Structure formats: structure tokens, C-alpha cells
Structure 1
């Protein structure tokens, strides 16, 4: 049994609702279901009684809850003892991020990291991918998180990239948007509505949609370019705007039903490929290595083992 499965189960046991637990854990509900199923398979017992609205614990589930938190606490204590020997009781780390992963991937991870390592100083700098690259090259960052495929960072010889899970790119709108009345939805149907896109959207992505985002087209309906997506989410709830974004950026709103993903039939499948990026030529400090390992274990890729600190270059 893996610790992450136990942590998932304890949150689900507390909330007794798959959807709410998935939102709190920043997971898709099917991923949470698979995690619980794997735990049940490995233990050889049924932990939950499931129905359409909630879950309840079996006697085995109650036992796991009673002893599971102690296991988590003991592992946290072990980590504290290890970092005391490993020099992670103090230090500084300069983390860069583009806007969407700063909220969707880094926020909770940094909070949990600081809980384990309260004497480490963390500085988070949120900028465009191009600005993050220049800052990293200039020595102003320890590492950063950004899209690496569309930006071609994964092809730069001087950069090391550690991929995080990929997320589908979607169009999203408020739940009662007029487009939701269409039985078959095509990209052309979006043209008459205001569109919200990232200011730093790579041209390679824009070209996938023809002239949809071209403000010079004859049927132009308005364009909103953003650096930070958070205020756009609030705008979507109050108008007929359509936004394009990685699904992870609106996962909570989708689960709550405040926003919905548009099922655009002729949209090419696109995914956001966020990665941890650092310089190959620069050895990583124990603090930076510890955070990278922590972040990778917070957001593991499918069928990939968790990384150990020894796999990264340290000083």
C-alpha cells in the first residue's frame, strides 16, 4: 500500500463524498476512485460502502482510519528526522512559475512543504515562461514550473525538465451559457462570443484554431487576453465569455458545477505539458532538490514511481 493511497482514503473518509474529496486533493474523481480501489485490492478487504450521493465506512475502513493517521504522523516524524541529518532544516529556494501552475499545482504543494520544513525561506515569482527562462539563466531562480512543450523548453540543451502530469486544454463557460443549448457544438459556434486567452499563448497553439483568435476577422466577437486566470474565472460567471485553459485551472469550478467544459466536436485534442525546469549546468542545493522531489510526489505521473532525492544532481 502506498502512502498517497492512504492519504487519499483519509480525506475521503473525512468528507464522505468522492467529488468533494477529489477537489480537496486536486485530483480528478476517476483518479481518486482508482486510488481507493488499488488500496482495497492490496489490503484484500472492502473499505467503503458506496452509493450515488455519499460513502460510508465498513468496519475495515474504520480500522484504517483509526490507525492510518498514526502511520502518516510517524512518516512525517521520520521525514523531520531525515531532513535534520540532511541539512533541510534551513535554507532558501527561489521558485518561478507561470500563472496557471502557480495556483493549480504549486500553491498547496508549497504550503505542505513549509509545514514540513518551517525554517526554509521560499520566494515564489510568477511571470511569463519567457521571463522565467531569462531569470533562470541569469541566476535569479533555483527552478521554475511552466509549459515546456509549446514553449520548446524541452528541446533546449541547457535545460533539464521533469514532466508533471498532462492536463487537457478545454473551452469553458458558465453553466447556463447559451452555447450549452446546442446539440452539436463546433468551433465556428464560438466565434460570436467574447473569447479569453492567455496573453502568452504560444503561436503553435493559436494556429490550431485558424483565425478564431484573430481580432481582424469579420465576425470578431471580442478578445480578452490575460496574464492571471483567477479574475477571468469570476468574469466567466457573469457574462457569455468563453475561455480556453488547461482543465486543472478550473477543476474545482467544474466539480461544483459553476463552470462547464464545452464539448466542441471539431476541436483538436490539446494538452498542457507543465514541467519542472532547472539548469543542467548548475548543481541543485539540498533544499531545491528536496522541494522538487516533494512536488513530483504531490503530482505523480501515471504509472511512474515516486522519485528519490538521489536521482537529482545536488551539491
Structure 2
């Protein structure tokens, strides 16, 4: 049976799409990489790639093997981490994800504490929307993630640890024209672009009600720091859980807007998500404890 080195070589080839670039990435000569791929194909009894002048493309067998190879390699990394971290957390790595809003406050604060306690553990943080994070978790690319979890409560593949909820706010720059027209009607909001991250169904429906039945988002971006910069330098509006804009509002960099009738904007539904039935590495367990302790110290809004 093939070994993990051949699988690593094959994944590199699939990702780079070219033998020369893949060989450089895995520190092999091109002939050596070609022999490794041929040996893998021989052991599996199928062709994995079609070779052509522009590089390579995966066959149907290659697509299948790529999916399993990534999972096997991720499992191998997880095993190495668990063994190396057992007892002292003096080495290894931690791969985690975060949604745009937790990545703006809660996760950086927790990672700061974690790095201070375990400076030799390498941390890789991926910021994405909750749908992509779920896929990466189930593909063993990350161990856990912190994001909006309201779509996950009935998912049998996931273990969800709920965190504190914060009310949603609509915000803009202090000099925005709407600051002088409060309370605002839906018609007032429709005069200016609205930016936000990918929204859960519950929040999307609320936005549709505010936008007269249509989704009012003009700009979608899953990087909340970009959204804040956009809002602070233009007449674009945005919305977010209070905890991620509180410091900016208190410092006068942003202001919140009040809607007519004072409708309640959807609250956040942060949670820590991991795979059901799978134990976490010592590093992931330690980070989860830090997040929960820090979240407990935050006054909910």
C-alpha cells in the first residue's frame, strides 16, 4: 500500500497543477516526483492524472483519491499533534477557524492568552463564513471553529458549545447624513448602500423586512475589519453584534443608528463548534477553555 509521502506528493501536484511547481513545493526533483506519482498510481491500480502540455488535470479516480488523501494527511497531523502535545503543550500546531464577527474581538483576545501560555505551539487561523468552516471541519482541515451556530443545532455531525449572545446594531461613521434624521424608516436606509457578511437565514429574513421584501445588502464581505474601514470612510452602512463595535462606538469612531419603532435586530449566536464524537487535541481543549472563560467575563449586551 502507498505511504503518506506519496499522498503528500499527489496532493501537492493536484494543488499546483504542474509537476515542476509541485516538485519545488515538496523539495523533490521533477523526475523523483513523477516516479512517486507513478508508484501511487500503480499501487492503486488506476490513473490519477491526465498529463498535457499545460500541466495536469485530475481524472475521476484522482478526484476521489484527493479527497481521501487530504483526510488521511489531516488525520496524520492530528495524531502527531496529540502525541507531541500530551502533557506539556511545548510543540505541535493548532488549526482553527473563526467567523467574521468572533474574529474581530473574541478570538484574537483568546489567542493572545493562548500564545502567552504556549508560545511554541504553532497556530493557524482561518477566517471564513460558517458554511465554509463547517466543510473544512468535516474535512479535518481545522479542529474547531467559532462562528454563528444557529444553522447547526440539529446537525448530528457537530458538537456546539454556545457562547454569550449580543444584540445587533446598525452603524455608520459619525458624520453620516442619517445621524441627523433618526429614528430612521426603511426608506431612509434604502438611500444608502448596506454592507455585511453572509447572513444566517434568520438575519436575512429580518433584512428583507427592513428592505421592503428584498435583500438590501449592496456589498457582501466576510472580513469584518474591511467592513469597518469601509463604513468609517464612506456613507456605507453596516450591521453587527454590539460586542464587535462597542469599543469603536465608545471611542467615537463609529455611531449606531436608531430605527423607527425600535425593531429588534437579530442577536448573535456565537458558539464553539467541533466534530461530534471526536476528541480535541490538548491545544484545542486549552483554547476552548480560554474562550469560554473569557466569554464569561464579558458583559452580554
TM-score of the two chains, using structure 1 as the length reference: 0.62
Q: Does 1:206 align with 2:204?
A: yes
How far the C-alpha of 1:116 sits from its partner, in A, is 0.9
Cα distance change on mapping 1:214 and 1:188 into 2, 3 Å: closer
Q: Aligned partners of 1:173 and 1:123: how far apart in 2? A: 32
Structure 2 residue corresponding to 1:260, chosen from 242, 255, 275: 255
How far the C-alpha of 1:88 sits from its partner, in A, is 2.3
Aligned to 2:105, the other structure's residue is in SS state: helix
Does the CA-based 8 Å contact 2:173-2:235 persist in structure 1? Answer: yes
Corresponding position of 2:293: 297
How far the C-alpha of 1:130 sits from its partner, in A, is 0.9
| RMSD over aligned Cα atoms | 2.6
How far the C-alpha of 1:184 sits from its partner, in A, is 2.8
Cα distance change on mapping 1:289 and 1:183 into 2, 3 Å: closer
Q: Aligned partners of 2:244 and 2:282: how far apart in 1? A: 30
Q: Does 1:90 align with 2:91?
A: yes
Aligned to 1:102, the other structure's residue is in SS state: helix
How far the C-alpha of 1:212 sits from its partner, in A, is 4.6
Q: Does 1:284 align with 2:280?
A: yes
Q: How does 1:15-54 map to 2 (within 5 A)?
A: none
Q: Aligned partners of 2:180 and 2:238: how far apart in 1? A: 18
Does the CA-based 8 Å contact 2:186-2:212 persist in structure 1? Answer: no
Q: Aligned partners of 1:213 and 1:186: how far apart in 2? A: 10
Larger Rg: 2
How far the C-alpha of 1:190 sits from its partner, in A, is 0.8
Q: Aligned partners of 1:226 and 1:280: how far apart in 2? A: 30
Corresponding position of 2:239: 244
Aligned to 2:283, the other structure's residue is in SS state: helix
Aligned to 2:245, the other structure's residue is in SS state: helix
Corresponding position of 1:229: 224
Unaligned ranges ≥5, structure 1:
1-83, 305-315
Q: Does 1:144 align with 2:140?
A: no
How far the C-alpha of 1:303 sits from its partner, in A, is 9.9
Q: Aligned partners of 2:90 and 2:149: how far apart in 1? A: 31
Q: Aligned partners of 1:133 and 1:216: how far apart in 2? A: 27
How far the C-alpha of 1:236 sits from its partner, in A, is 1.6
Q: How does 1:82-231 map to 2 (within 5 A)?
A: 86-149=87-150, 152-198=151-197, 200-210=198-208, 212=210, 223-231=218-226
CA deviations 1:94-148 (Å, max 9, x no partner) are: 1111122112111121122111111112111112211111111111111001100
Aligned to 2:286, the other structure's residue is in SS state: helix
Does the CA-based 8 Å contact 2:182-2:259 persist in structure 1? Answer: no
Does the CA-based 8 Å contact 2:186-2:211 persist in structure 1? Answer: no
Q: Aligned partners of 2:230 and 2:132: how far apart in 1? A: 27
Unaligned ranges ≥5, structure 2:
1-84
177-186 vs 189-198, which deviates more? 177-186
CA deviations 1:174-232 (Å, max 9, x no partner) are: 1122211124323332111111121x212331211336558979xx8x81211212122
Q: Aligned partners of 1:209 and 1:104: how far apart in 2? A: 24
Does the CA-based 8 Å contact 1:213-1:223 persist in structure 2? Answer: no
